[in-house]
């Protein structure tokens, strides 16, 4: 699988995938046709995870969306697709929005959007790169934010009752500090794009380390409670490709998807021209007897 939006200059970033009503739905960041300086969210559908057909885009209809939207996270709850995505272009004040769909394509947006931003006592108050995970009876929301100097990107955590309406009042900050910050040499000044999956009673978080094309590479951490995370590796779990490869400049912005058959797929973005074009791919991952994830196979690389 190497997927991109050929109509938008070979640009496809920030994947999120669900299985819904017998099909796979891919939500991803695109350039807008009428203004390529803005981004939006495209929708593609597949029956096999390898061959994708673009079917729709999410229109920008709310005031907070007028500069753009992107970086979706998705989950199926009560036979509906819930999309959590960020506003774009407002820098320190970008925040997380919510929309819900009964068919995977047409979404009703929450009237309170944006529905979540963190308090600004431990960060600048920004929230992007949403990901959600059901764990311990709570829906955990993981997001990227920055320090007050807008230099260091880090990951925070909030939670809501999965039976709630996901309004602003439904969200509770897990703690007034980050759950993961850049510490390793290869992570530079950035930990972003948290991508979580529950496995054997633990939450595994795959993440993008370093800013785009520095290169960004994918790391992994694990938590027993969904809040406090410890890295599993000191080197990237999934590094960027070699010179000339489709992902020579980056293997980044992961998304983890567990299929109905139990198989776990790691979707991610890549570039080989310093971000002029972007493609999406995936690999299948497994877990050994000690709960350590590993790459089973890379698809279409």
**CA dist., res. 131 & res. 26, Å (int):** 14
2 contacts 255 by C-beta, under 8 angstroms: no
Q: What is the model's pLDDT at position 301?
A: 43
143 contacts 96 by C-beta, under 8 angstroms: yes
245 contacts 281 by C-beta, under 8 angstroms: no
**CA dist., res. 237 & res. 207, Å (int):** 10
**CA dist., res. 79 & res. 222, Å (int):** 29
**CA dist., res. 156 & res. 134, Å (int):** 16
**CA dist., res. 18 & res. 258, Å (int):** 8
Q: What is the model's pLDDT at position 276?
A: 97
Angle at 16 between CA 262 and CA 103, to 5 degrees: 90
**CA dist., res. 285 & res. 280, Å (int):** 16
Q: What is the model's pLDDT at position 50?
A: 94
For residue 14, report the phi and psi dihedrals to the nearest 5 degrees: 55, 65
Q: What are 111-150's pLDDT values in tens digits?
A: 999 999 999 999 999 999 999 999 999 999 999 999 999 9
Q: What are 273-288's pLDDT values in tens digits?
A: 999 999 999 999 999 9
**CA dist., res. 197 & res. 36, Å (int):** 33
Q: What are 34-66's pLDDT values in tens digits?
A: 998 999 999 999 999 999 999 999 999 999 999
Q: Which domains are present in the chain?
A: 6-299 (2.115.10.20)
**CA dist., res. 50 & res. 16, Å (int):** 14
Count Cβ atoms below 10 Å from residue 73 Cβ, excluding itself: 27
96 contacts 69 by C-beta, under 8 angstroms: no
**CA dist., res. 71 & res. 131, Å (int):** 9
Question: Per the structure block, which two tokens stand in for 111?
Answer: 């009237």
| Helix or strand run (H / E) with residue 28 | strand 23-31
């Amino acid at each position: 699988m190497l997927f991109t939006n050929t109509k938008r200059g070979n640009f496809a970033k920030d994947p999120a995938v669900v299985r819904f009503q017998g099909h796979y739905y891919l939500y991803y960041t695109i350039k807008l046709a009428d203004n390529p300086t803005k981004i939006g969210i495209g929708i593609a559908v597949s029956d096999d995870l390898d061959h994708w057909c673009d079917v729709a885009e999410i229109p920008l209809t709310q005031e907070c969306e007028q500069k753009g939207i992107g970086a979706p996270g998705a989950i199926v709850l009560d036979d509906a697709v819930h999309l959590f995505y960020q506003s774009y272009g407002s820098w320190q004040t970008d925040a997380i929005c919510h929309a819900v769909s009964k068919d995977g394509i047409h979404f009703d947006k929450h009237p309170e959007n944006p529905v979540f931003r963190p308090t600004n006592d431990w960060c600048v108050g920004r929230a992007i790169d949403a990901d959600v995970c059901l764990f311990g009876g709570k829906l955990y929301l993981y997001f990227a934010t920055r320090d007050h100097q807008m230099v260091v990107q880090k990951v925070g955590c909030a939670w809501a009752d999965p039976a709630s309406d996901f309004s602003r009042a439904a969200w509770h900050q897990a703690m007034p500090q980050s759950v993961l910050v850049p510490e390793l040499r290869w992570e530079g000044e950035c930990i972003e794009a948290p991508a979580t999956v529950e496995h054997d009673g633990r939450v595994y978080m795959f993440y993008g380390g370093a800013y785009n094309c520095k290169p960004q590479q994918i790391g992994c951490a694990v938590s027993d409670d969904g809040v406090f995370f410890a890295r599993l590796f000191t080197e990237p779990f999934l590094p960027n490709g070699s010179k000339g490869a489709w992902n020579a400049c980056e293997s980044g912005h992961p998304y983890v998807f567990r299929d109905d058959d139990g198989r776990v797929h790691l979707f991610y973005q890549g570039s080989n021209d310093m971000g002029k074009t972007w493609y999406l791919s995936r690999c299948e991952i497994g877990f050994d007897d000690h709960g350590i994830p590993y790459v089973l196979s890379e698809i279409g690389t």
